[in-house]
Structure 1
Amino acid sequence: MQISRLFGIVYLLLERKKVTAKELSERFEVSIRTIYRDLDNLSAAGIPIYTINGRNGGISLLDNFIINKSLLSESEQNEILIGLQSLTAVNYPNIDNALSKMKALFNKTDYSWIEVDFSRWGSDNKEKEKFNLLKTSIIEKQIITFDYFNSYGDNSIRQVEPVKLIYKDKCWYLQGFCLSKKDYRIFKISRIKQLEITEQCFSRIHKQEQFIESDIQNYNPIIDLELFFSSHVAYRLYDVFDENAILKNTNGTFKVTISLPEDEWLYGFIMSFGDDVEIIKPKYIRDRISERLEKALKKYKKYKKPDMM
Structure 2
Amino acid sequence: MKRLHESRLFKILYYLLEKGQATAPELASKFEVSVRTIYRDIDVMSSAGIPVYAAAGRDGGIKLYDDFIISKALLSESDIQDIFIGLQSLSAAQYSDHEGTLEKLGALFKKTNTDWIEIDFSRWGACVQKEHEIFSLLKISVLKRQEIVFCYYNSRGEVSERRCRPIKLLYKDRSWYLFGFCCKRNDYRLFRVSRMRSLKLTEVMFDEIPHDNLNILPLPEDMEVLNEIELRFPLDMGHRVLDIFSEEAIIQNDQQFIVKASLPRNEWLYEMLLSFGENVEIVRPISLKEEIIERCEKALNHHKGAES
Contact 2:225 2:264 in 1 (8 A): yes
What secondary structure does 1:119 align onto? coil
Aligned match of 1:185 in 174, 186, 189? 189
**Which residue matches 2:124?**
121
Contact 1:118 1:131 in 2 (8 A): no
The structure that has the greater radius of gyration is 1
The runs of 5 or more residues in structure 2 that have no matched partner are: 1-48, 50-70
Q: Determine the C-alpha separation between the residues in 2 that align with 1:274 and 1:281.
A: 17
- Superposed CA offset, 1:209-262 (max 9, x none): 2586343253542223222222443332222223443344324x3323333212
How do 1:12-161 residues align onto structure 2 when only pairs under 5 Å count?
70-72=74-76, 74-90=77-93, 95-124=98-127, 125-161=129-165
Aligned match of 1:239 in 220, 232, 243? 243
How do 1:256-275 residues align onto structure 2 when only pairs under 5 Å count?
256-275=259-278
What secondary structure does 1:297 align onto? helix
**Alpha-carbon shift at residue 130 of structure 1 (Å):** 0.8
Whichever residue aligns with residue 245 of structure 1, its letter is A
TM-score w.r.t. the length of structure 1 is 0.65
Check 1:211–1:144 CA distance in 2 against 1; reply closer, same or farther (3 A cut). farther
**Alpha-carbon shift at residue 132 of structure 1 (Å):** 1.5
Work out the number of aligned pairs and report it.
238
Q: Determine the C-alpha separation between the residues in 2 that align with 1:160 and 1:303.
A: 43
**Alpha-carbon shift at residue 122 of structure 1 (Å):** 1.0
Answering whether residue 231 of structure 2 is matched by residue 227 of structure 1, we say yes
Q: What is the CA RMSD across the aligned residues, in angstroms?
A: 3.0
Q: Determine the C-alpha separation between the residues in 2 that align with 1:279 and 1:71.
A: 56
TM-score w.r.t. the length of structure 2 is 0.66
- Percent identity, aligned pairs only, is 43
**Which residue matches 2:174?**
170
What secondary structure does 2:111 align onto? coil
Check 1:274–1:207 CA distance in 2 against 1; reply closer, same or farther (3 A cut). same
**Which residue matches 1:7?**
none
Check 1:272–1:302 CA distance in 2 against 1; reply closer, same or farther (3 A cut). same
Q: Determine the C-alpha separation between the residues in 2 that align with 1:117 and 1:93.
A: 12
Check 1:282–1:182 CA distance in 2 against 1; reply closer, same or farther (3 A cut). closer
**Which residue matches 2:279?**
276
Whichever residue aligns with residue 177 of structure 2, its letter is Y
Whichever residue aligns with residue 187 of structure 1, its letter is F
**Alpha-carbon shift at residue 161 of structure 1 (Å):** 1.9
Answering whether residue 207 of structure 2 is matched by residue 203 of structure 1, we say yes
The runs of 5 or more residues in structure 1 that have no matched partner are: 1-44, 46-65
**Which residue matches 1:31?**
none
